[in-house]
Amino acid sequence: MLILQKNDRVDWNRIITDLERNKVCCYKLSKRSGIPRTTLLGWKNHGNRPKLEDGLPVINIWCQVFDKEFDEIPVFDFYEPYKIKPGISPAN
């Protein structure tokens, strides 16, 4: 079962990029998922975020291709604080 923390977001860019690197181009992904190619490109390139239910076909394909479980999909914390490199002081 997928449990997202408060600020976690599904990393659609990484999911679609992983599939493309594994020879599932946006055209094939569109045909298999039933989601328009332009919509998939919006999720990947422009940071558009679908409702989880709308993206389930893509997640299912990702899980099949990589033999992973649903709770292993890539996520990120949208509000993760910026980390300052050691030895660099922040600007005043």
Q: What is the DSSP letter of 6?
A: T
pLDDT in tens, 24-44: 999 999 999 999 999 999 999
CATH of 9-77 among 1.10.260, 1.10.405, 3.90.550, 3.40.720: 1.10.260
E strands of the chain, at which residues? Answer: 8-10, 75-77
pTM of the shown model = 0.77
Contact 13, 85 (CB under 8 A): no
pLDDT at residue 1, rounded to an integer: 60
Q: Could you identify the residue written with the tokens 């599939």?
A: 19
What mean pLDDT value characterizes the chain? 84
- Cα separation, 92 vs 84, in Å, equals 14
In our burial notation (b when 16+ CB lie closer than 10 A, e otherwise), range 37-58 reads eebbeebbeeeeebeeeebeeb
3-class secondary structure, 82: coil
